[in-house]
Amino acid sequence: MKNQIKRLTTMNRIQTTGMELFYQNGYYNTSIDDILKALSLSKGAFYYHFQSKEEFFISISQTLLFRKVYIDLIAPIEGKEDPLNTILECLDNNLQIAENNFLDYGFILGNFITEFNGKNPEIMSYLQDILTVWEVNLVTILQKGKTDGYISRHIDSESLVSFIISSYMGIRTIMVESKNKRLRYNYIQQLRQYFKTMDLRTVV
């Protein structure tokens, strides 16, 4: 039991550091040696747990990356009423965190999708799975909003979700280069105005 706990702890340390460095520098610009140097570990320790760099990144995608997207963007909207305001609040909260984080390098899932697109279909499939979970949860809350009388029934939920995700990824990218607080404010205000055209009441 102690050996198993030690093994899982070591794996988590390697994965956590790996994700941080991949996020900061990119997957292709980060070597296993870079990660091991940051952890003061040997190559033997790494290859005891992971067979390759690719397998290592996939393990990060299935655990830490999925967990981060879930905690930040899915859990806050699950099962909530008033979907449009709920989504606005969730996105605004995440943008505020990014706005005040000088070590922010953009939306982590979006960064990896951009980096691997057209280069590694296997890894892209795992990243796409995470994106799909987010999409499905957004569609679900919007559909529930229609049933509950918050949103006009003629709204195409899937098209709206595509717009929400693509616009959020875009503003997160722009915010990396500019910490101008009006970027977030302007984005959220415009999104709010857009949502008002779909709300059967009034978006607060």
Mean pLDDT lowest among 3-7, 56-60, 118-122, 190-194:
3-7
How is residue 8 written in tokens? 């899982």
pTM for the whole structure: 0.92
Domains with residue ranges and CATH for the chain: 1-50 (1.10.10.60), 52-196 (1.10.357.10)
Give me the pLDDT at residue 204, please: 46
Neighbours of 129 (CB within 10 A): 12
Q: If you write DSSP's letter for every residue of 139-201 in order, what string do you get?
A: HHHHHHHHHTTSB-TTS-HHHHHHHHHHHHHHHHHHHHH---HHHHHHHHHHHHHHHHTTBSS
Mean pLDDT of the chain: 93
The pLDDT of residue 201 is above 90: no
User: CA torsion angle for 147, 153, 159, 161 (degrees, to 10)?
Assistant: -30
